[in-house]
């Protein structure tokens, strides 16, 4: 194991895959200058401008070129800078890439990775702070990934690049500087496999992306009160690890889902509904969700904080689910 950051782990993953497979390349705006956050720093010098390609400022052009290139045998990594900007390329991704394999009867595959930095990050305001994972999880044909740690950003990005289907790869902007351990040598994390980040007996807390870390802080506080929370980081939202979640909830009898995205129609609703349908007779408390209110994210830090799911909110929700019902 070696110390690294979330950003450097993703950079290492791309370098290793480009060295391993000559069909892997990356395209996007300003990659030659390292990208918005530095995640492509030095790569154009290493691989040349044909494999680390700078593009015009046109998300539709970038995505369309990548889809065509994937269909003809290469494995493009598409940099969208911000997930919000990727909405300019939704037609190419949703109506073309996601459907090509089905519409061509399996004769055509689109092995591309779309890197979309997501989430709230130092007053980036309403047009640069969204978490839109539920949009993509809703689309048949797309794989959706949301890594939360340096090790997972390394192993999941490598697995995403090797996947034969289009992958929407959502890296949280607030995690770029997160430090942690990552295995040396080859490291792959299977798509669709959750991580039990903390074991517990009293309640299952399902989350993903940056909310993993908030959830673990809340679980640590609750442990001091004698409440043991099992924290599950999904890592992949589609396919999601239904078996791991159901096994945990069958053990604990309680489920809380925490997401940074807007709660209304968020992916947490899919988890809640699936568990309620499968285990309704075994639940010790109604399933609960925590997510952002249905409002644009404000620039002002105090208003931005009102949209965040906090450690305090998680602790309060868990306490309410553990407490015995009042006697009537």
Catalytic residues: 128
Q: How far is CA 25 from CA 18, 112, 146, 167, 264, in A?
A: 7, 10, 21, 15, 37
Q: What is the CA 87 to chain-centroid distance, rounded?
A: 17
- For 125-176, what is the HEC assignment? CCCCCCCCHHHHHCCCCCEEECCCCHHHHHHHHHHHHHCCCCEEECCEHHHC
Q: Which residues of 271-300 are buried (b: 16+ CB within 10 A; e: fewer)?
A: bbebbeeebeeebebebbbbbbeeeebbee
What DSSP character marks residue 26?
E
Cβ pair 194, 244 in contact under 8 A: yes
Strand partners, 305: none
Distance CA 75, CA 234 (A): 25
> Exposed, middle or buried, 46 (CB in 10 Å: 0-12/13-18/19+)?
exposed
Q: How many CA atoms lie within 13 A of 314 on its CB side?
A: 33
């Amino acid at each position: 194991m070696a110390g690294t950051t979330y950003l450097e782990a993703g950079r290492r993953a791309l370098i290793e895959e480009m060295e391993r497979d000559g069909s892997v390349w990356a395209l996007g705006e300003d990659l030659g200058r390292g990208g918005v956050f530095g995640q492509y720093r030095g790569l154009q010098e290493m691989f040349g401008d044909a494999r680390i390609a700078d593009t015009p400022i046109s998300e539709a052009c970038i995505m369309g070129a990548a889809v065509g290139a994937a269909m003809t045998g290469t494995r493009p990594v598409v940099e969208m800078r911000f997930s919000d900007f990727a909405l300019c390329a939704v037609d190419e991704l949703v109506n073309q890439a996601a459907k090509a394999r089905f519409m061509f009867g399996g004769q055509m595959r689109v092995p591309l990775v779309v890197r979309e930095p997501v989430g709230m990050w130092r007053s980036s305001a309403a047009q640069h702070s969204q978490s839109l994972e539920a949009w993509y999880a809703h689309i048949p044909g797309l794989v959706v990934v949301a890594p939360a740690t340096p090790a997972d950003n390394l192993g999941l990005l490598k697995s995403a690049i090797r996947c034969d289907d289009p992958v929407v790869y959502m890296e949280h902007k607030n995690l770029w500087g997160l430090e942690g351990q990552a295995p040396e040598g080859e490291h792959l994390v299977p798509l669709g496999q959750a991580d039990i980040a903390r074991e517990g007996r009293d309640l299952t807390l399902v989350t993903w992306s940056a909310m993993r870390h908030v959830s673990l802080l809340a679980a640590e506080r609750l442990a001091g009160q004698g409440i043991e929370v099992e924290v599950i980081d999904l890592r992949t939202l589609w396919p999601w690890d239904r078996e791991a979640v159901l096994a945990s909830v069958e053990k604990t009898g309680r489920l809380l889902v925490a997401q940074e995205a807007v709660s209304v129609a968020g992916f947490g609703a899919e988890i809640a509904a699936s568990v309620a349908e499968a285990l309704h007779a075994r639940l010790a408390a109604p399933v609960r969700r925590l997510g952002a209110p249905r409002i644009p994210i404000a620039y002002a830090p105090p208003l931005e904080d009102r949209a965040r799911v906090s450690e305090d909110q998680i602790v309060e929700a868990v306490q309410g689910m553990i407490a015995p019902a009042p006697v009537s």
